[in-house]
């Protein structure tokens, strides 16, 4: 467990970057992909002045050490602690490769990362945020792996997007009980693949039968598409489906039961950045950072979580116009 200090009288700012996913050759080519990612992150750093950067997975391309090294060196240059979780692409080459990637990142002095218990994957760890010796919140980062088998009701076994395994939910419970015991009032969970509750939460919050593809970011922020009782706590868009393990892994029940985690942030679906609330827990898709892999126009930037002294958390997307860096490659 790490501890970061919050400055009294100033909110603690967390900047989440999602799915940057550039390969080493994209950095070497010095083209639009690189310029948009660098320009976007620089702009976000100036606007947000974060105390911590989190990356909600799909950091680079599978096993492409050059890509990780470029991104790690670039992020480390800001002198701000940065903490990744791994996405399905990061994990694609297996545990030995991700261990090497983690070691590469940890060679950079500002990378704050722990592999955590080996049986849980790589990168299950906690960052406490402390003000004058007292925990005011915490960031729990968890590995959602790559893919896992799923047996359909018809008995067919399919490879599906992975999930948090039961041992990880037990680990989460232990971490949260320890935080609760010291009076820590809130926490944030960062994952790559959304937990299963995302699907039901958004389906519940949206007006039945609404065509999400037709709702703009501005309309969504004004409440278009959301049921009235969810409009005040929901915004963002869903431009693609939910790439989630088909069965409930039980994460939301654990979150709700323990009462600590008020915000969950996930990546993975680059064209979704919707946010809603279920039973007092905000479930958020992070805004994608850059144009690595696939992307949707107008959906570039990062997500900011602001933590107050009393543990209250606010979340907003910080959009960055990528057009100044377009056409350079």
Size of the site for Fe ion (CB under 5 A): 4
Q: Which is nearer to Fe ion, 45 or 190 (CB)?
A: 190
> Which range of residues in 4-12, 35-43, 173-181, 262-270 is near Fe ion by CB under 5 A?
262-270
How many beta carbons lie within 10 A of that of residue 15, not counting itself? 26
Q: Does 286 bind Fe ion (CB under 5 A)?
A: no
By beta-carbon proximity to Fe ion, the closer residue of 90 and 131 is 90
**Counts of helices then strands in the chain (DSSP H, E):** 10, 14
Residue 268 contacts Fe ion per CB under 5 A: yes
Instruction: Write out the two tokens for 130.
Output: 């402390």
Give the residue with the Cβ less far from Fe ion, 180 or 293: 293
Which CB atom, from 58 or from 69, has the smaller least distance to Fe ion? Answer: 58
Letters for 160-189 (x = contact with Fe ion by CB under 5 A, - = none) are ------------------------------
- Torsion (CA) 156, 159, 160, 165 in degrees, nearest 10: 100
At residue 221, what are phi and psi to the nearest 5 degrees?
Answer: -65, -25
Q: Is 58 in the site for Fe ion (CB under 5 A)?
A: yes
Is residue 35 within a helix (H) or strand (E), and if so which, with residue range? helix 32-48
State the DSSP string of 261-303. EEEEEE-S-TTB--EEEETTEEEEEPPB-SSSSS--TT--EEE
> What is the Cα–Cα distance from 23 to 145, expressed in whole angstroms?
20
In whole angstroms, how close is the CB of 76 to Fe ion at the nearest point?
A: 23
The residue among 6 and 288 lying less far from Fe ion, judged by its C-beta, is 288
- Residues in 77-106 at the binding interface with Fe ion, rule: CB under 5 A: 87-88
Q: Does 236 bind Fe ion (CB under 5 A)?
A: no
* Contacts with Fe ion, residue ranges (CB under 5 A): 58, 87-88, 268
């Amino acid at each position: 467990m790490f501890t970061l200090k919050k400055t009294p009288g100033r909110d603690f700012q967390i900047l989440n970057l999602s799915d940057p996913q550039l390969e080493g050759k994209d950095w070497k080519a010095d083209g639009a992909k690189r310029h948009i990612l660098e320009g976007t992150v620089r702009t976000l750093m100036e606007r947000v002045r974060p105390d911590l950067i989190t990356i909600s997975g799909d950091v680079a391309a599978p096993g492409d050490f050059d890509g990780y090294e470029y991104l790690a060196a670039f992020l480390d240059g800001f002198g701000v602690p940065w903490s990744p979780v791994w996405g399905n692409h990061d994990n694609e080459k297996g545990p030995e490769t991700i261990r090497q990637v983690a070691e590469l990142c940890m060679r950079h002095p500002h990378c704050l990362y722990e592999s955590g218990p080996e049986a849980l994957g790589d990168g299950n760890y906690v960052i406490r945020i402390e003000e004058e010796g007292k925990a005011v919140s915490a960031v729990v980062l968890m590995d959602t792996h790559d893919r896992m088998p799923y047996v359909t009701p018809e008995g067919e076994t399919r490879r599906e997007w992975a999930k948090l395994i039961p041992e990880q939910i037990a680990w989460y419970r232990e971490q949260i009980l320890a935080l609760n015991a010291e009076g820590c009032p809130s926490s944030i969970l960062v994952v790559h693949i959304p937990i299963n509750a995302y699907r039901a939460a958004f389906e519940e919050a949206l007006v039945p039968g609404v065509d999400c593809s037709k709702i703009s970011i501005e309309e969504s922020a004004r409440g278009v598409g959301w049921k009235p009782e969810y409009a005040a706590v929901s915004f963002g868009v869903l431009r693609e489906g939910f790439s989630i393990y088909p069965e409930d892994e039980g994460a939301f029940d654990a979150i709700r039961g323990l009462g600590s985690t008020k915000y969950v942030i996930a990546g993975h679906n680059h064209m979704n950045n919707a946010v809603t609330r279920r039973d007092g827990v905000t479930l958020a898709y992070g805004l994608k950072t850059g144009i690595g892999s696939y992307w949707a126009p107008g959906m570039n930037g990062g997500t900011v979580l602001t933590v107050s002294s009393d543990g209250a958390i606010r979340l907003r997307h910080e959009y960055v116009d990528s057009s100044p860096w377009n056409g350079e490659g």
